[in-house]
Amino acid sequence: MNGRIASDHTIPWLTTYVWLLIVSWTVVISASVTWNLLNQNESMREIALSEARAYFKKDQAFRLWATSHGGVYVPSDERTPPSPYLAHVPGRDIETPSGVLLTLMNPSYALRQLNEEFTELYGVAGHITSLKPLRPQNAPDDWERAALIAFDDGEKEVTDFAEVGGEPHLRLMGLLPTEEDCLRCHANQGYQVGDVIGGVGVSVPMTHLLAVKREQAAVVVLGHGGLWFLGLLGIGLGARQISQRIRERDQAREARARFERLLSPVLAEKVVSGDLQVRLGGELYDASILFIDIREFTPMSEGAAPAAIVELLNEYFEVMVEVVFENDGTLDKFVGDEVMAVYGAPMPQPDHAPRAVRTALGMRTALAKLNESRSQRGLPTIRAGIGISSGTVVAGYMGSSKVMDYTAIGDTVNTAARLCSVAKSGEILISRATREQLDSTFEVEAREPIELKGKSQPLDIFNVTSHRTA
């Protein structure tokens, strides 16, 4: 048998599939990273909003408390001087019986002072403002002005992330409605109960939250990066395993196809499944070698069309190989019109000699049937001689690194070929080594020993005439 050494080959569809998996896995990981980072941003925003709303509610609660009491009187000093913007309020300044001068702090005045101290302590700035402030210093900045205008349009809360003093902050402003008690100080501004009198703004520093966010983002990115790498590793290992399985499957198919041309289906399956090893290089086997050769083939082929000769040989080889495989023989090669078969290699067969002789007898019978068919078709008949010898051979894959043949070599092979060459049409000549392995069911007759080149003694030969079956 002729075969080529298997080589690695790429699998285009698998490569495409792997790249699709890599791209899909990358998209999934990227989507997960994006989703997690967006969730972190939303969580950070919710935390900042919750914090800002808590500060706003604190300011709102304080203002409502102060408003419900109509403001509070505190000792007048440099830090808390009488407010010139409350000069229109009766009883702004009073004196206690003990002579302590007190001044009125309306809710806005008290809340402003509270926020100033709160900012110094905790860094969270608060600012009460209005589009019509009593105190000019309480005038809104651009962002606050936009928020106050939004209140007039129906909004009750305005938030935004912005820089304050070069640092990131969350700014929140809540609406301040005019209460009945507010009119004590603001009635002269034209406000009525229920009007938007202004708003309380809170500015929460985001530096600490952003630092936490960056740390969490790093954990998300690194974690997903590791997961992405493990996924790629899994895809790579899976692709490698699939590729290996595909190569093994293809090699098994190729091997089965090759061995089915060389061996019987039973032996071919044993080789492919690994139950029977066929290694590169030669191994020693105790085997029998069979040669069958067409007699007077050259005169038969003279004058015949090449296509007719090919058709004759193919028809002849088909029949002969079928008999070889029926007896679990190994087809070694075709040499012109000659067929060489091996018994006992690559699978050892203790009964290799009887198998070879039964094959020869089967070939003689099959050839008779073929000739009958050919005669009916008006075609020339085929005559052949057979030679068999048994002994030690070296069998295995032999050849170059690109093309190799499974074959057997050795003195036993040469002897079988010589016996075939001297066998007359219809004869099955065997050596003494083969004869000694046959039982009495084989009818054998001795022939005159023959001289062989390279042999010091004549070779005993025998002709097999028939085989009795039970």
pLDDT tens across the length of the chain (470 residues): 444 434 444 577 888 888 999 999 999 999 999 999 999 888 888 888 888 888 888 888 887 888 788 888 989 988 889 988 888 888 888 989 988 999 988 877 877 888 778 877 777 777 888 888 888 888 888 888 898 888 888 889 898 888 888 889 888 988 888 777 777 777 777 778 877 878 888 888 888 888 888 899 999 999 999 999 999 999 989 888 888 888 877 776 766 665 555 555 555 565 655 555 555 567 899 999 999 999 988 888 887 888 889 999 999 999 999 999 999 998 888 998 999 999 999 889 999 999 999 999 999 999 999 999 999 999 999 999 999 999 999 998 777 767 667 889 999 999 999 999 999 999 999 999 999 999 999 999 999 999 877 777 899 999 999 998 75
What is the dihedral angle through the alpha carbons of 427, 263, 312, 353, rounded to the nearest 10 degrees?
A: 0
**Cis before 346? omega within 30:** yes
Per the structure, the count of domains in the chain is 1
What pLDDT does 397 receive? 79
φ and ψ at 346, to 5 degrees? -80, -10
Distance of CA 138 to the CA centre of its chain: 66
Please indicate, yes or no, if residue 18 is contained in any of the structural domains: no
Residues written for the chain: 470
Q: Nearest to residue 410, comparing CAs of 464, 354, 340?
A: 340
Query: Does a structural domain hold residue 159?
Result: no
DSSP 8-state code for residue 140: -
Sign of CA dihedral 265, 267, 268, 273: positive
Is the separation of the CB atoms in 37 and 243 below 8 Å? no
288 assigned to some structural domain = yes
Give me the long-range contacts of 137-146 (CB less than 8 A, separation at least 24): 138/108, 138/112, 143/171, 144/173, 144/199, 144/201
Cβ distance 55 to 202 under 8 Å?
A: yes
Q: Is residue 158 a contact partner of residue 226, using CB atoms and an 8 Å limit?
A: no
Tell me, yes or no, whether 147 lies in a domain.
no
Using the 8-state DSSP alphabet, how is residue 346 labeled?
S
Q: Is residue 262 assigned to a domain?
A: no
pLDDT at 6: 40
Secondary structure element (H or E) that encloses residue 201, with its range: strand 196-205
C-beta of residue 390 within 8 angstroms of C-beta of residue 349? no
Q: For residue 341, give the nearest of 134, 355, 92, 102 by alpha carbon.
A: 355
Judge whether 349 lies within some domain. yes
Q: Answer whether residue 420 is part of any domain.
A: yes
Confirm whether 417 is domain-assigned.
yes
Query: Which residue range is the domain that position 342 belongs to?
Result: 275-467
d(CA 135, CA 110) in angstroms, rounded, equals 13
* Residue 429, helix vs strand vs coil: strand
Verdict on whether the full-model pTM lies above 0.75? no
Give per-residue pLDDT as tens, 365-395.
999 999 999 999 999 999 999 999 999 999 9
CA distance 229 to 214: 22
Query: Please, are residues 236 and 164 in contact by the beta-carbon 8 Å criterion?
Result: no
Distance of alpha carbon 383 from alpha carbon 295, whole angstroms? 5
Distance CA 456, CA 50 (A): 112
- Describe the crossing of helices 207-260 and 12-68 by its angle, rounded to 10 degrees: 160
Helix (H) or strand (E) holding 167: strand 167-177
Task: Identify whether the C-beta of residue 338 lies closer than 8 Å to the C-beta of residue 271.
Answer: no
Residue 355 near residue 370 (C-beta atoms within 8 A): no
CA distance 23 to 375: 70
The CATH number of the domain holding residue 281 is 3.30.70.1230
